[in-house]
Structure 1
Amino acid sequence: MQTAEIKRRFLKFFEERNHTVVPSASLVSDDPTVMFTIAGMVPFIPYMTGVVPAPYPRATSVQKCIRTNDIEEVGRTPRHGTFFQMCGNFSFGDYFKREAIEFAWTFLTSAQDEGGLGFNPKDLWVTVYRHDDEAYRFWREIANIPEERIQRLGEDTNYWSAGKPGGPAGPDSEIFFDRGPEYGIDGGPATDDDRYVEIWNLVFMQYERGVDNGDGTFEILGELPKKNIDTGMGLERIAFLLQGVENMYETDQVRPVLDLAASLSGKKYGDKDDDDVRMRVIADHVRSALMLISDGVQPGNEGRGYILRRLLRRVVRNMRLLGVETATFPQLFPASMRAMKDAYPEVERDFDRIARTAYAEEEAFLRTLAQGTTIFEEAVSGAKGSGLAQLSGDIAFKLHDTYGFPIDLTMEMAEEAGLRVNRDKFNELMTEQRERAKADAKSRRSALADLSIYSDFRAKGETQFIGYEDLRAESEVLGIIVEGSSVPVARSGQVAEIILAETTLYAESGGQDADQGWLIAPSGGFEARVDDVQKPVAGLIAHTVTVTEGEIAVGERVESVVDEVYRRQASEAHTATHLIHAALRDALGPDAHQSGSYNKAGYMRLDFSWNQPLSKETRIELEEISNAAVRADYEVITKEMSLDDAKALGARALFGEKYGSVVRMVEIGGPWSRELCGGTHVSGTSEVGLVNLIGESSVGSQNRRVEALVGRNAFADFATERAIVRELSSGLKVPREQVTERVEDLLASLKRAEKKIADLEAAALLGRVPELLAGAEQVGSINFVGGSLGTVGSADDIRHVVLDIRERLGSEASVVAIGGESNGKPIIVIATNEASRDLGVKAGALVKLAAGVLGGGGGGKPDVAQGGGQDAAKLPEAVTAVRRELQSV
């Protein structure tokens, strides 16, 4: 059975059971704390936690997912893939354990000619949480699984939690397929052997969890008011089992790339274990990269971009280990696209863009590999010349960090040269790098400029930033990059990166946005607007410019000119960031430490560790403390000193930043605020002018964010608010101190009036019930009432009328189908009574039929369902379609 057919059957099975089919969300997660969609339930988390009311009681989806935490296992086990598709069915306070178990078992074991997957029940095992007697009983009753094939396991495998106090938690039950004795030892899933493949996980969210107990467990506060179901069936795992292949890499959506890698390398899949692993890695990573680029991810050095770049480079590395050193993406990516386009047509539609991104990244990496190989060979020669048997970890890290060499490639090359690699030192440096990484850092560098270009310029020395003292200065043009290539000249109309020996323009770093300004030829004839200033590699500053006049060549002199107004306002904002940080520590204590920041002219934001919203009083206090420091006109002093000396003075370092042995400390009011910072600042706090706190929000479970306007922007905002208050005071004819009270009174009056109107409208609609009942007709075996209410306020208005009519029709088999129009859109609500449902009539099926006529969709329970569409003029036709459907009952 093809993968696409399994997906189709899954969605059809649950749609027939009143689940709303929800399309896959993007691989790029909306959650700012998560880079990717890592599980099928991620898009539904707001509904499961109750933060957002669920728009439907039941849902089903096949969700695209990316996980790279087990990347080293890819190709080595039958089931680990970085990209996978998770089939899920979800209940939001509707059905629970019994139904979830029955659905899963029915779909898995029903015959294929009946729409199921046709698994033999004798091949399936089940695990339940050790204390979940209810799930155990349901499995025995529903599936009649022998007791010996139901295993009770502990919290580490069969208990799920949202991960924080107040969130949902509950036991889960997993279904495993036994591949047979030729694949491993007997004993069931408890053995954790690859013989038993987990194919479905049913999570029963029934409790509210409390705080951690300190031993990996947590307190249970009680049952949730609404119990939820979250299940996940691995599509790739089901596919490889049903297709009779050995692993997910040999399924129809992945195997074509594996076979092509074998063909390009001249090797045969199945001949050699190491080569087989490499081919499987290539097939997996090409598909993952295809899907990531399709969803808008671009290769980069941070965050999602780094994950994508790593996948692409691992493909290149494994092709090289198979003996192929030329570009292969132009063959591999089209093969993956052809395998995936039936399930995801967008990969074919957007393939030109996907291909350009992938091919350019491969070309850039092949160049850096060539340059890195030269560095490697020099290091090997030096080590052997010194009689060493080991390549230093520093060299291995440089090859990884600057030239993109994966450590295992360096280790294999070193082994071929008869050397070992100091892996411990390499791991130490990698850990330091990960700690320096910023989750919200931007990647604005030229998409196609590989690091070797920057490395060539960096070899000429560091770019000196002299903008603390000077706002304009001459320097030599060391290099020019246009569209990813080093060029000798930048001409009018071009966007270019220009690298100077010295610059007065501040490069974005430490949370401070880049300076604005110009590059100008001292003798005239050339001018460029500076759009961005970045540090593409350590010690190098690159100016992204738009050339507005003339041309400039490498080796010529150019003057960097800072926009003084922008710099002054940016400096005010950066100093205000330090004031807010100090104020947070004053108000909340030392645990409220900075985790990130961003500031530009007139604006600042600061992220800090804290696990709950700030009260109104605390926000006022922060603003008061900060502005008290402004009024105090503390002197702002910058000092360079050793890192140890700065720490001894209590200077605060930002987690994730890299500091050298000599650091720059910014001191405000002596010990009141001491921070390590390379940004620009005012000389006294009174120059900040004013700090106006405008926002406070969450940026993760343990982090908050405050935002403020600074200086002139803060004054302008207050002036706007003052003008608004003045107008309200005049219009309401009350003193300004009474404006709030007067507005509250008016809102209360408006609310009462709206309620009165709603009550009158509802009464008027219910008054039409006798008229609608008078039109009742016998359709087949059903007493049918159909019609339209015309324009209504909402679907609830129609629902009230429908339920009232159903109640008045009594116990005779009846169906009510009433439509209406709200905000220009048609709505139809259908209700059945018990007698009609006994005849097989379901409201959900009928409403889908009616909504289809209206050009939309709908769903609901068998007793009541609701749908909508686009064309309100077709409401009579929709009701007629329902009437026609009932004639056969």
Structure 2
Amino acid sequence: MQTAEIRGRWLAFFADRGHTVVPSASLVSDDPTLLFTVAGMVPFVPYLTGLVPPPYPRATSVQKCIRTNDIEEVGKTPRHGTFFQMAGNFSFGDYFKEQAIQYAWELLTTPESAGGYGFLEKDLWVTIYLDDDEAFGYWRAIGVPADRIQRLGKESNYWSTGQSGPAGPCSEIFFDRGPAYGADGGPATDDDRYVEIWNLVFMQYLRGEGSGKDDFEILGDLPKKNIDTGMGLERVAFLKQGVENMYEIDQVRPVLDRAAALSRRAYGADHEDDVRMRIVADHVRSSLMLMSDGVMPSNEGRGYILRRLMRRTVRAMRLLGVEGATFPELFPASRDAMSDAYPEVKSDYDRISQAAYAEEETFLRTLTSGSAVLDVAVAKTKKAAGAELPGDTAFLLHDTYGFPIELTLEMAEEAGLSVNREAFDALMSKQRAMAKADAKAKKTTLADLSVYSAFRAQGATVFTGHDTLQTESSILGLIVEGASVTNAVAGEIAEVILSETSLYAESGGQEADAGLIVGPGYELEVLDVQKPVAGLISHKVQVRSGEVGVGDSATSVVDADWRRGARQAHSGTHILHAALRQVLGPNAHQSGSYNKAGFLRFDFSWNQALSPATRSEIEEIANNAIRDNLEVVTREMNLTEAKALGAMALFSEKYGDRVRVVDIGGPWSRELCAGTHVSTSAEIGMINLVSEASVGSTNRRVESLVGLEAFRDLAAERAIVSQLTANLKTPKEALPERINDLLQNLKAAEKKIAAYEARALSDRVPALLATASRAGSVMLVAENLGTLASADDVRMLVTATRERLGSEPAVVALAATVGEKPVVIVATNQAARDAGHKAGALAKQVAGILGGGGGGKDDLAQGGGTDVSAVPSALDAVRTAVVR
């Protein structure tokens, strides 16, 4: 049974039993505490916890998931994969334990010919929570023998979020692969023989605070009992397809086979090679699916995880003996295997492949040089009889060569060494702290999400701002320092929940509106507007005057100038996107944006810098679209209809069933967007591209001023040009040539000055030679040159003087003040060195007298310090040392 068929049977089974079929959410999780969607229940958490009222009583889905916690186990066990698909059925206060158990058993054991999975009852085992006699009774009632129902503790069979909130016992279904795969005794043996295929969570209790999986108190029953179940699609697939592990199923095996063909090594012939091929097969599929959901390789967050997966793939292929690029062979194999279930991997493949191939090329270039650095460090460590690579080496490999720390750990382990992880982590922490200090602080901090549930239960906040700048409403709730309160007084910072609002909440790249909330006897300044949970808008405010209370009437008032600028910038972002795609092609896909009054920033997938001519062309197309006064039309429709019209969506955004489509000039620019926009393109005024730069190997960023800000910037440039034309007495069209002539003249003058200075320095050599005196067995020149421009000048005089002293033993030590600090440079000829006089040792000695440090080679060395007055003593020390 193919994986796609297993998926289809699941959805059909539960749809026939009244479940709403919910499409898979993106791998990019909405949960700010998660990088990825890590389980099938993640998209349903707001409904399961009661934070948001569920739109349906029961649901089913096959959810795409990514987990990297067990990445080191990938390829080594039959069931660990970074990307997997979790089939789930969910009940939100509808059916409970008995029905969930019946559904699971029915689907698993119904013959394939009747639409089920056809597992034999004798091959299935069940686990339940220790004291869940209710579940035991239901399993027995459908015919599961008592000796194949095992009771396990909280560690295995009790679910909770790990904090105060919903919790409940679990029941798991296992498939027995038979005695050839391990010991008898059921799932309690924790043996690979027993493969968990289905987990049923009976969410029925409220747990208290505690740590770990079993250290907490049950406070009571939940108001509504929920069901959350999950069946691993890949696990069922490898069992139904009669293969040994998930890497050999129909959606993964083609990549494994391609890796074997490229390496010319047979799968199944060598254990280590097999593990590497499985790693490749898993990681390529995971990378493909992440990129299809808009994740791009980078050094932070999700992009870092993707980069790690891709670089582990490259590393595994190199260990298989393949030195060159392999992604152009591996990724198409995964695309073809996954496109039946996920058509987007095929339709978006040009974009995906461009980024993937560029990432591999970049890493292949750095892998060689980085590996050389690592090899030197390994050799040095082993020579010193050490067992641990320094943390700064690992940091260098990460920061300069792009090696994920996990890759360095793997390569060090292969060489028989560990890595000083503590030192590496300290360096990483220091770097992150510096980055955070430089970053602009987020201007809002929202309360703990649980405080919003009561407000969200009253319904979604109605946003009226598309049609009006002012809306009358009422205060539904007030939150101060994370707690719900009844009132707030002058000077306090609070969050305000309104039933309706005209103020736009930050989303879709558009910054939140500025404005006021006013009512009888109070005025609130709006500091920020956010959507802490789906459907709810929260206004962070400062109470300017009066006192505001829950239930008061309220009018939200948008700052009209701010909104005008925001609309210009957001519509300008759409126009710029369309212009980029017109010039660069459809692969220049949006990967992020930010816009506010007067400014926009736009990130897009592209792997090379834009030439000045290309930038000008994009800017001209965008401004022509503004000049043409294109009509801006917004429409609401269902998501399927919008996609059919070709509306583009931003991968990181989550869209509901009903979406807002914004057209500028008809299909020329057609995007899904809930932001605020102008009525016609001419209202934007002007777009002025001010910068273009890289934000990763596969992404570029352009920044632009918009409207009046764009005009002001051009006016400032015009003023500068006017000043230059006046000062240089040159027409503006001739300025480039005139400035170039001046620069050439300046370079020529600087060259002449340097020649004069060099001549002046060389003219000092005869006078220095005249000071030579015998000190012991050598001729010594030890002089203070006074103030010089640079240490290079001192070095030139030292070496020139040494060369003129002939072949008898000679030492030259010259001091000078450079930048208000003393510098001493010492040179020796071969005869002096043969007599035991080393420049490095002399420089180190005299530098100590100057209050600093120094050293160098035997023939030429430099020292310095902070005490200029000690120069005579330092030169005397050279004479003393030479005489000895």
Scaled by the length of structure 1, the TM-score of the pair is 0.51
Between the aligned partners of 1:738 and 1:175, the Cα distance in structure 2 is 55
* C-alpha RMSD of the superposition: 4.0
Alignment-derived partner of residue 373 in structure 2: 375
Between the aligned partners of 2:363 and 2:78, the Cα distance in structure 1 is 29
Candidates 397, 403, 406, aligned match of 1:405:
403
Q: Judging changes above 3 Å, is the alpha-carbon distance between structure 1 residues 243 and 214 closer, same or farther for their aligned structure 2 residues?
A: closer
Between the aligned partners of 2:211 and 2:264, the Cα distance in structure 1 is 57
Q: Judging changes above 3 Å, is the alpha-carbon distance between structure 1 residues 431 and 63 closer, same or farther for their aligned structure 2 residues?
A: farther
Paired residue secondary structure (1:403): coil
Query: Cα distance, 1:323 vs. partner?
Result: 1.0
Query: Cα distance, 1:49 vs. partner?
Result: 1.3
Query: Cα distance, 1:47 vs. partner?
Result: 1.1
Query: Cα distance, 1:405 vs. partner?
Result: 3.3
Between the aligned partners of 1:355 and 1:83, the Cα distance in structure 2 is 19
Paired residue secondary structure (2:400): helix
Query: Cα distance, 1:410 vs. partner?
Result: 4.6
Query: Cα distance, 1:411 vs. partner?
Result: 6.1
Count of residue pairs the alignment pairs up: 499
Alignment-derived partner of residue 157 in structure 1: 156
Q: Does 1:18 align with 2:18?
A: yes
Q: Which has the larger radius of gyration?
A: 2
Query: How do 1:737-886 and structure 2 match up within 5 A?
Result: 743=553
Q: Judging changes above 3 Å, is the alpha-carbon distance between structure 1 residues 118 and 389 closer, same or farther for their aligned structure 2 residues?
A: closer
Query: How do 1:526-605 and structure 2 match up within 5 A?
Result: none
Q: Judging changes above 3 Å, is the alpha-carbon distance between structure 1 residues 382 and 409 closer, same or farther for their aligned structure 2 residues?
A: same
Q: Judging changes above 3 Å, is the alpha-carbon distance between structure 1 residues 355 and 737 closer, same or farther for their aligned structure 2 residues?
A: closer
Between the aligned partners of 1:291 and 1:107, the Cα distance in structure 2 is 28
Write the letter of the residue equivalent to 1:191. T
Between the aligned partners of 1:280 and 1:738, the Cα distance in structure 2 is 62
Q: Deviations over 1:396-417 (max 9, x none)?
A: 342244323356755675677x
Alignment-derived partner of residue 421 in structure 2: 426
Alignment-derived partner of residue 793 in structure 1: none
Aligned residues of 1:372 and 1:403 also touching (Cα < 8 A) = yes
Q: Judging changes above 3 Å, is the alpha-carbon distance between structure 1 residues 34 and 699 closer, same or farther for their aligned structure 2 residues?
A: farther
Aligned residues of 2:489 and 2:548 also touching (Cα < 8 A) = no
Greater alpha carbon shift after TM alignment, 207-216 vs 84-93: 207-216
Q: Deviations over 1:11-69 (max 9, x none)?
A: 11111111111110110111112111111111111111112211111111100011111
Query: Cα distance, 1:83 vs. partner?
Result: 0.4
Q: Judging changes above 3 Å, is the alpha-carbon distance between structure 1 residues 373 and 91 closer, same or farther for their aligned structure 2 residues?
A: same
Aligned residues of 1:174 and 1:202 also touching (Cα < 8 A) = yes
Between the aligned partners of 1:395 and 1:46, the Cα distance in structure 2 is 44
Q: Does 1:212 align with 2:139?
A: no
Between the aligned partners of 1:265 and 1:618, the Cα distance in structure 2 is 69
Q: Deviations over 1:569-589 (max 9, x none)?
A: xxxxx8x98xx99xx9xxxxx
Q: Judging changes above 3 Å, is the alpha-carbon distance between structure 1 residues 5 and 694 closer, same or farther for their aligned structure 2 residues?
A: same
Between the aligned partners of 1:741 and 1:190, the Cα distance in structure 2 is 56
Aligned residues of 1:393 and 1:421 also touching (Cα < 8 A) = no
Q: Judging changes above 3 Å, is the alpha-carbon distance between structure 1 residues 432 and 383 closer, same or farther for their aligned structure 2 residues?
A: closer
Q: Deviations over 1:753-784 (max 9, x none)?
A: xxxxxxxxxxxxxxxxxxxxxxxxxxxxxxxx
Between the aligned partners of 1:168 and 1:147, the Cα distance in structure 2 is 29
Alignment-derived partner of residue 483 in structure 2: 613
Between the aligned partners of 1:282 and 1:361, the Cα distance in structure 2 is 16
Q: Judging changes above 3 Å, is the alpha-carbon distance between structure 1 residues 311 and 384 closer, same or farther for their aligned structure 2 residues?
A: closer
Between the aligned partners of 1:402 and 1:217, the Cα distance in structure 2 is 44
Alignment-derived partner of residue 229 in structure 2: 231
Candidates 162, 167, 170, aligned match of 1:169:
167
Between the aligned partners of 1:409 and 1:293, the Cα distance in structure 2 is 21
Paired residue secondary structure (2:150): strand
Alignment-derived partner of residue 121 in structure 2: 121
Paired residue secondary structure (2:244): coil
Write the letter of the residue equivalent to 1:89. N
Alignment-derived partner of residue 670 in structure 1: none
Query: How do 1:633-712 and structure 2 match up within 5 A?
Result: 694-695=527-528
Alignment-derived partner of residue 100 in structure 2: 100
Paired residue secondary structure (1:325): coil
Query: Cα distance, 1:386 vs. partner?
Result: 5.5
Aligned residues of 1:397 and 1:426 also touching (Cα < 8 A) = no
Write the letter of the residue equivalent to 2:417. V
Alignment-derived partner of residue 190 in structure 1: 188
Write the letter of the residue equivalent to 2:330. L
Aligned residues of 1:160 and 1:203 also touching (Cα < 8 A) = yes
Alignment-derived partner of residue 729 in structure 2: none
Write the letter of the residue equivalent to 1:205. M
Alignment-derived partner of residue 329 in structure 1: 327
Query: How do 1:219-618 and structure 2 match up within 5 A?
Result: 219-380=217-378, 382-383=380-381, 391-405=389-403, 410=408, 420-423=416-419, 425-430=420-425, 433=428, 437=432, 509-510=436-437, 512-513=439-440, 612-613=482-483, 615=485
Alignment-derived partner of residue 29 in structure 1: 29
Q: Judging changes above 3 Å, is the alpha-carbon distance between structure 1 residues 383 and 697 closer, same or farther for their aligned structure 2 residues?
A: same
Write the letter of the residue equivalent to 1:20. T
Paired residue secondary structure (2:365): helix
Paired residue secondary structure (2:312): helix
Aligned residues of 2:336 and 2:346 also touching (Cα < 8 A) = yes
Between the aligned partners of 2:435 and 2:256, the Cα distance in structure 1 is 43
Write the letter of the residue equivalent to 1:155. K
Between the aligned partners of 1:216 and 1:276, the Cα distance in structure 2 is 38
Structure 1 residue ranges without an equivalent (≥5): 439-506, 514-573, 585-609, 625-690, 723-735, 746-822, 827-866, 869-889
Identity, % of aligned positions: 61
Alignment-derived partner of residue 57 in structure 1: 57
Write the letter of the residue equivalent to 1:193. D
Between the aligned partners of 2:210 and 2:337, the Cα distance in structure 1 is 46
Q: Judging changes above 3 Å, is the alpha-carbon distance between structure 1 residues 620 and 127 closer, same or farther for their aligned structure 2 residues?
A: farther
Q: Deviations over 1:579-606 (max 9, x none)?
A: x99xx9xxxxxxxxxxxxxxxxxxxxxx
Write the letter of the residue equivalent to 2:293. D
Between the aligned partners of 1:73 and 1:381, the Cα distance in structure 2 is 29
Write the letter of the residue equivalent to 2:151. R
Write the letter of the residue equivalent to 2:425. M
Aligned residues of 1:39 and 1:63 also touching (Cα < 8 A) = yes
Between the aligned partners of 2:203 and 2:63, the Cα distance in structure 1 is 20
Alignment-derived partner of residue 650 in structure 2: none
Q: Deviations over 1:361-411 (max 9, x none)?
A: 111111111221232343345446667676434323422443233567556
Aligned residues of 1:623 and 1:692 also touching (Cα < 8 A) = no
Aligned residues of 1:391 and 1:420 also touching (Cα < 8 A) = no
Paired residue secondary structure (1:77): coil
Aligned residues of 1:392 and 1:422 also touching (Cα < 8 A) = no
Query: Cα distance, 1:284 vs. partner?
Result: 0.4
Query: How do 1:132-147 and structure 2 match up within 5 A?
Result: 132-142=132-142, 144-147=143-146
Aligned residues of 2:312 and 2:407 also touching (Cα < 8 A) = no
Query: Cα distance, 1:620 vs. partner?
Result: 5.3
Between the aligned partners of 1:46 and 1:331, the Cα distance in structure 2 is 41
Q: Deviations over 1:686-730 (max 9, x none)?
A: xxxxx9673587979xxxx99679xxxx9xxx8xxx9xxxxxxxx
Write the letter of the residue equivalent to 1:91. S
Greater alpha carbon shift after TM alignment, 184-193 vs 736-745: 736-745
Q: Deviations over 1:777-829 (max 9, x none)?
A: xxxxxxxxxxxxxxxxxxxxxxxxxxxxxxxxxxxxxxxxxxxxxx9999xxx
Query: Cα distance, 1:134 vs. partner?
Result: 0.4
Paired residue secondary structure (1:370): helix
